Amino acid sequence: MRIVVDTNVVFSAILNSNSRISKIILQPRTKLNFYSTDHLIQEINDHKEKLRKLTTFSEKELNRAIQLITDRIRFINVSIIPKVSYEKAESLASDIDEDDIEFIALVDHIKGRLWTGDKELRHGLEMKKWTRFITTDELFEIIIMKK
């Protein structure tokens, strides 16, 4: 299953290594394939100091946590996403949150599902009949059933 992870999911995994989110991403033998755009790396770098303060990690520990999480994600350069997928995502999300357009375009391109904790984004897209989401609970259930 192809899962596009957005920024808030990855930040949650970094902030709490014992959370369900971390356990899902770090599960070693799973058929879940995680994807994101290069924008996520930029967001992590932009907020690294805030993440460090929130975790009380040393810089070395934070870098290790980031590496563990990001190593499980395939990063896609947005330039390879077809224009039609990007335009579709833009029409869906530009009035909700422009920062999420790339993630939605990637979902369309890889025919995946979006894993987000952004309730405003989810509500706004559902109002437009876009429902290609997957929740943390659904993913956790998939992992539990695989064991």
What is the pTM assigned to this prediction?
Answer: 0.92
146 pLDDT higher than 80: no
pLDDT of residue 147: 52
Element (H, E) at 59: helix 59-70
If you average pLDDT over residues 131-138, what whole number do you get?
Answer: 95
Can you say whether the dihedral through the CA atoms of 62, 68, 71, 77 is positive or negative? negative
Report yes or no: 81 and 110 within 8 Å, Cβ to Cβ. Answer: no
What is the domain partition of the chain in residue ranges? 2-146
Give the domain 2-146 fold: Rossmann fold (3.40.50)
Rounded-to-integer distance, Cα 51 and Cα 45, Å = 10
Spatial strand order of the sheet with 113-115 comes to: 73-76, 33-37, 2-5, 113-115
